[in-house]
Amino acid sequence: MDQVTTQAAIKETTYREAVREALRDALRRDDRVFLMGEDVGRYGGCYAVSHGLLAEFGPERIRDTPLSESGFTGAGIGAAMAG
């Protein structure tokens, strides 16, 4: 590849946008995938990383959790074990 082709293939993005797109990709690929955490739904997550995902995927897949890391860690382990 020459330099012109390489530069045309590169898309500039922010770290936040890249993480959001990775989450969106995982959610689109597998209906079993969900996101849970503190303020990830309505608020849009820390630094708005999950902004827009609640509207796109709904509250069944984008879940706000209470401030209880052990609680949602247990929920995640249970979800993984259930498949």
CATH number (domain holding residue 39): 3.40.50.970
pTM of the predicted model as reported, rounded to 2 decimal places: 0.77
pLDDT higher than threshold 80 for residue 81: yes
Number of structural domains found in the chain: 1
Helical segments of the chain, H only: 3-9, 15-29, 53-57, 69-82
Rounded Cα distance, 38 and 29, in Å = 24
pLDDT (tens digit per residue) in 19-71:
999 999 999 999 999 999 999 999 998 899 999 999 999 999 999 988 888 88
Rounded Cα distance, 6 and 65, in Å = 43
Residue among 71, 35, 75 nearest 54 (CA): 35
Give the type of residue at 12: E
At residue 8 the predicted structure's pLDDT band, cuts being 50, 70 and 90, is: low
- What is the model's pLDDT at position 27? 98
- What is the model's pLDDT at position 68? 86
Residue 30, domain extent: 3-82
Assess contact for 60 and 34: CB atoms under 8 A.
yes
